[in-house]
Amino acid sequence: MAEIHIPTLAPDILFHIGSVPISNTVINAWIAILIFFVLGLMLRKRISLRPGKLQNKCEYILELLLPYFDQVTGDRKKTMRFLPMVGSVFFFILLSNWLGLLPGTGSITVGHSFLLRPANTDLNLTVAMALVSVIGSHLMAVASIGVFTHIGKFIQIKPLFTSILKGPMAFFTALIQFAVGLLEVVSEFAKVLSLSLRLFGNVFAGEVLLSVMSALVAAVVPAPFMLLELLVGLIQASVFAMLTLVYLTVASDEPHGAHEEHA
C-alpha cells in the first residue's frame, strides 16, 4: 500500500518573491491565468466576421451560457454588462478546478512540498474571489442606481424622523425597517463567508478523497472519482458564478417603491 499524503488546510510555500510567499496553489492559479492570456492573444489575432475554428468554439460556449444568465438577469443588456466579470469568475474557477486533476498535481514534489495543488483549495483565494464578487456588486449598484439609493437599501434613517409625526405605530414600523436594514448589512458579510467556504470546502474535500483513493487502490479505481471531480468542478464554478450574477442583478435593481416615488 502506498503512503497516504493527506493535503493540509494551508498550502505549501515553495519560495518567496521579496517578502511575498509563493505557494503551490499560486502556481496552479498562474497556470490558469497563463492559459487564458495565451487564448486571449490567439483570439485577438484571429477574430473576424468569418470566424475560424477557435472563434467558433468560443462563441458556441458563450451562446450556451447567455440563456442561463438571461434567466437570472431577465435582460440581455444586463447579461452583457455583467458577463465580463461573471464569465471570468466562472471560467477561472472551472479551469483551476480541472487543472487539479492533471497528472503531477499532488505527486510532484519540490523538497518536502508538492509543486502543484488545486488553486481553490487555498482559502485565501476563495475569500479574495468572494470579496471581489460582493464588493463588485455594490460598486455596480452605485453606478446603476446611485450612492444614496443603494445605501437606502440598508440604512433607512429618514423614515425614522418622518414617522415621528405619523404616530407611534408608524415609528415602530420604521424602527423595524431600520433593524432589518442592519441585518442586511450583516448578510453582506455572510455572503463572503458562504461563497468562499462553499468553494473551498468542496474542492478541498475532493482533493483529499482523490489522494486517499490513489494511495489505497490501483490507478483504475480512482478514475470514477476523477470523473466525479470533473462534475463537481463544473458545478462549483456554476454555483459561484450564478450567485455572483444574482448579487449583481439584485444590487443594481432599484428598491421597491422607487418608481412610484419618482412618479
List, for residues 207-241, the tens digit of each pLDDT value: 887 777 776 665 556 677 778 888 889 999 999 99
- If pLDDT is split at 50, 70 and 90, which confidence band does 259 have? very low
* Lowest-confidence pick of 35-44, 69-78, 90-99, 251-260: 251-260
pLDDT score of 219: 54
**Any long-range contacts for 109-115 (C-beta under 8 Å, 24+ apart)?**
110/14, 113/12, 113/13, 113/14, 113/24, 114/5, 114/7, 114/12, 114/24, 115/14, 115/24, 115/27
What does pLDDT average to over the chain?
Answer: 84
List, for residues 13-71, the tens digit of each pLDDT value: 999 999 999 998 999 999 999 999 999 999 888 888 888 888 999 999 999 999 999 99
Q: What pTM does this model have?
A: 0.85
Sequence-separated (6 or more) residues with CB below 8 Å from residue 149: 254, 255, 258
pLDDT score of 167: 72
Residue 260 pLDDT exceeds 60: no
pLDDT score of 106: 64
- If pLDDT is split at 50, 70 and 90, which confidence band does 262 have? very low
Q: Span 168-172, mean pLDDT?
A: 75
pLDDT score of 151: 83
% residues pLDDT > 90 (the chain): 45
Q: 132 or 222: whose pLDDT is higher? A: 132
- If pLDDT is split at 50, 70 and 90, which confidence band does 153 have? confident
Neighbours of 197 (CB within 10 A): 14
Residue 2 pLDDT exceeds 50: no
Q: 174 or 10: whose pLDDT is higher? A: 10
pLDDT score of 32: 94
* Amino acid, res. 205: A
Residue 95 pLDDT exceeds 50: yes
List, for residues 188-213, the tens digit of each pLDDT value: 999 999 999 999 999 988 888 777 77
Q: Which residue has the cell 492559459?
A: 35
Q: Where are the domains of the chain?
A: 13-262
% residues pLDDT > 70 (the chain): 87
Give the whole-angstrom CA distance, residue 117 versus residue 257: 49
